[in-house]
Amino acid sequence: MRPTTKDLAKAAGVSRATVDRVLNGRPGVHEKTVQAVQAAIDRLGFERNLSAANLAKSRVYRFEFLLPRDGGEFLAELDAQIAEHGRLLRADSIEIRTRRVLERNPHQVVATLANLSREEVDGVAIMSSESPQVRDATLRLIERGINVVQFISGQHGVRPFDFVGIDNYAAGATAARLLGAFCKQPAGRVMVIAEAMTSLDSAERRLGFDQTLGLRFPGLSALPTLETHGNHTRAAAIVAAAYRNFPDIVGVYVMSSEAFVPLEAVLRHGGRRARTIVAHERTARTVELLKSEMIAALIVQNPGHVVRSAVRLLKARCDGRTPLASQEDIRIEILLKENLALPDKGTA
């Protein structure tokens, strides 16, 4: 049996009350006594029974996911995963809500963050493009004792925030490597297209892409990034123009997580020439295109994994534990037609 606080008390030669004060960092215990208790903890290998502790505290972990209001299929998938896990995690006294904010307006993100209080939430996962205002608001959250993870958007491992998501520089590099490998022609131009280039994420992907393309495939050169801004008409126009101006386009990199509009335009105006396409994220649409071999490869971050990872991080921080870095590493997954998991072969 695992030792309890009672055992601890006996081993340390103190009362349960004192053990309790030490365990929960309450004041009024002599330094010497604290150390005696600590020694006993180490000696017995005592670990708090979290079930009992949560029960006693009637503790509920309240986490919020802050997502942009506008978005396409990838965002919808994320939202679905969050809801799904919310349902599952209720059994573990974890309550998860999502909140959509108008992301175009940093001020609104900031206002939302400023309104969060320790009374109503224990941790927040923030998915928002970088801005100094948001960063400051986030810092203030931490000061108020609310735990934070940067979700999907942001930078890997920049304190004091935990980050959950892929390394976008590496993702761009991976895209270049795949595009080069799957593209038969040794020379030509590569179209790079995105919904928008505003965020740091896009910049990083582009950087990694260019770097690797130049290094490994000197024959291929990437065009400046086209931006579609969710507008089909505009997308069609700029893509058509690009194909007209550059007859030697041999590959396309759809850089943004939302790929619908760019893909539509490329498929419609690239015709047979748009053969080697690399895009991001798994959605109904991209999977369909992968199956029909219109897309060569997808670069994916698993929505289920990122959600679980974010929750684990928030919970670990709430409990004052140090999260296990190795466990929370989000892999850059590569999806081909071949390793696309078939729909539900079992485990029902």
Query: Can you tell me which of 38, 40, 53, 71 binds DNA, judged by CB under 7 A?
Result: 53
- Helices (H) and strands (E) counted in the chain, each on its own, are 13, 12
β-sheet with 147-151: strand ranges across = 94-101, 61-68, 123-126, 147-151, 162-164
Name the residue nearer to DNA (CB basis): 18 or 225.
Answer: 18
Binds 322, which of DNA, a second copy, none (CB < 5 to 8 A, cut-off by type)? a second copy
Where is 138: in which H helix or E strand? helix 132-143
Q: Please tell me the distance from the alpha carbon of residue 308 to that of residue 305, in angstroms, as a whole number.
A: 5
- Residue 56 makes contact with DNA by CB under 7 A: yes
Query: Can you tell me which of 4, 98, 211, 221 binds DNA, judged by CB under 7 A?
Result: 4
Cis omega (within 30 of 0) for bond into 247: no
Name the residue nearer to a second copy (CB basis): 44 or 170.
Answer: 170
Residues 209/255, Cβ–Cβ less than 8 Å: yes
- Residue 49 makes contact with DNA by CB under 7 A: yes
* β-pair partners for 254: 193
- Residue 57 makes contact with DNA by CB under 7 A: yes
Strand, helix or coil for residue 125 = strand
Tokens standing for residue 146: 């609310």
Binds 57, which of a second copy, DNA, none (CB < 5 to 8 A, cut-off by type)? DNA
Name the residue nearer to a second copy (CB basis): 170 or 236.
Answer: 170
CB of 241 to a second copy, least distance (A): 30
Which is nearest to 95 in space by CA: 86, 84, 82?
86
CB of 113 to a second copy, least distance (A): 21
| Residues forming the site for a second copy (CB under 8 A) | 2, 47-52, 54-55, 84, 88, 90-93, 156-159, 162-163, 167, 170-171, 173-174, 176-178, 181-182, 208, 212, 302, 304-305, 313, 322-329, 331-334, 336-342, 344-348
- Answer positive or negative: Cα dihedral of 203, 209, 211, 214: negative
- Residue 52 makes contact with DNA by CB under 7 A: yes
CB of 71 to a second copy, least distance (A): 21
Query: Can you tell me which of 38, 39, 43, 55 binds DNA, judged by CB under 7 A?
Result: 55
Binds 91, which of a second copy, DNA, none (CB < 5 to 8 A, cut-off by type)? a second copy
Residues 179/251, Cβ–Cβ less than 8 Å: yes
Q: Please tell me the distance from the alpha carbon of residue 33 to that of residue 9, in angstroms, as a whole number.
A: 11
Name the residue nearer to a second copy (CB basis): 93 or 221.
Answer: 93
Binds 276, which of DNA, a second copy, none (CB < 5 to 8 A, cut-off by type)? none
Name the residue nearer to a second copy (CB basis): 50 or 102.
Answer: 50
The per-residue DSSP string of 86-153 comes to: HHHHGGGTEEEEEEEE-TT-HHHHHHHHHH--TTT-SEEEE-----HHHHHHHHHHHHTT-EEEEESS
Binds 291, which of DNA, a second copy, none (CB < 5 to 8 A, cut-off by type)? none
Q: Which of residues 8-37 bind DNA (CB under 7 A)?
A: 13-18, 20-21, 23-24, 27-30, 32-33
Burial class (CB within 10 angstroms; exposed 0-12, middle 13-18, buried 19+) of 198 = middle
- Residue 93 makes contact with DNA by CB under 7 A: no
Residues 110/134, Cβ–Cβ less than 8 Å: yes
Q: How many CB atoms lie within 10 A of CB 208?
A: 21
In the complex, the residues that contact DNA under the rule CB under 7 A are 1-2, 4-6, 13-18, 20-21, 23-24, 27-30, 32-33, 46, 48-49, 52-53, 55-58
